[in-house]
Amino acid sequence: MGNTVKISASIVLYKEDLKELEKTIASFLKTKLSKKLYLIDNTPSKKFINVFNQKEIEYIGVGKNIGFGAAHNKVLKKIKNLSDFHLILNPDVTFSENTIPNLILQIENNETISMIAPKVLFPNGNHQFSCRRYPTIVELLARRISFFKGIFKNTVDNGIYKDKNLDKPFFAEYLTGCFQLYKTADFIQLNGFDERYFLYMEDVDICKKMDALGKQKLYYPKEEIIHVLKKGSEKNIKLFFRHLFSVLKYFSKWK
């Protein structure tokens, strides 16, 4: 494709565990491709301003918490003519040096695929359900409330593709936002994330926007990553309401 680097990536920073973040950055920098990493710091104090000084890293200090999608969108103009592929990466993810090159090989010459994501595991090796069908209100309630989970078990199972062999690649409806590898040109055409979502649901929303382009998202479990997964909205009432408001915005937008 002939841009300046093969792969760019962005990580949004807020209240991050520094040791986890160091491991994530090390995983990306081990990738044996030309690369550029953007660290978008949403902390009001610009906490991470002089922490990482590697030549492949560019720091962007926002000075306030503008949310997940808006922060990732800070790099749209920067990567437009820079990279062939762009990675949306969480700060608590680790992977091998071959993960990104192998994923790129799967979609590089396929015009119908805009995004790819690997199998996601918890640190203990258990499977994380990172590829899903588009959610329904009933499914979201059932996933949150134990009483409903038993009644609507089939709905929940359907949402996480329990009917499919998750060890084989397939085109998923949406792939969660901890690790989304895009063709940069398509990410630009989508205009990145919808900034009306402060946090949560923006990864589902961008997959819906991709459908409108007639493009596909490939779940590729032959590559694996480790994701810590904080589940913040299950533990913090403020984040719970953030999640709730994003859900309402999503269903209002997509009817």
What is the Rg, in whole angstroms, of the alpha carbon atoms belonging to the chain?
18
Q: Strands 57-61 and 179-183, how do they pair? A: unpaired
The 10 Å Cβ neighbour count of residue 244 is 14
* Residue 255's pLDDT band (cuts 50, 70, 90): confident
Taking 70 as the threshold, does the pLDDT of residue 24 lie above it?
Answer: yes
Q: What is the pLDDT of residues 4-13, one digit of tens each?
A: 999 999 999 9
Q: What is the pLDDT of residue 229?
A: 78
pTM: 0.93
Position 120: which residue type?
A: V
Q: Which tens digit of pLDDT belongs to each residue from 44-57?
A: 999 999 999 999 99
What's the confidence (pLDDT) of residue 51? 96
The pLDDT of residue 152: 76
Give the residue from 137, 136, 250 showing the smallest Cα distance to 196.
Answer: 250
Query: To the nearest whole percent, how much of the chain has pLDDT over 70?
Result: 94
The model's pLDDT over 177-231, given as tens digits with 9 standing for 90+, comes to 999 999 999 999 999 999 999 989 999 999 999 999 999 999 999 999 999 976 5
Q: Are strands 216-227 and 83-89 parallel, antiparallel or unpaired?
A: unpaired
| pLDDT band of 232, cuts 50, 70, 90 | very low
d(CA 95, CA 99): 6
pLDDT in tens, 46-98: 999 999 999 999 999 999 999 999 999 999 999 999 999 999 999 999 999 99
Q: Which residue has the higher pLDDT, 35 or 247?
A: 35
Domain ranges of the chain: 5-254
Whether the CA torsion 15, 191, 121, 21 is positive or negative: it is negative
CATH code for the structural domain at 5-254: 3.90.550.10
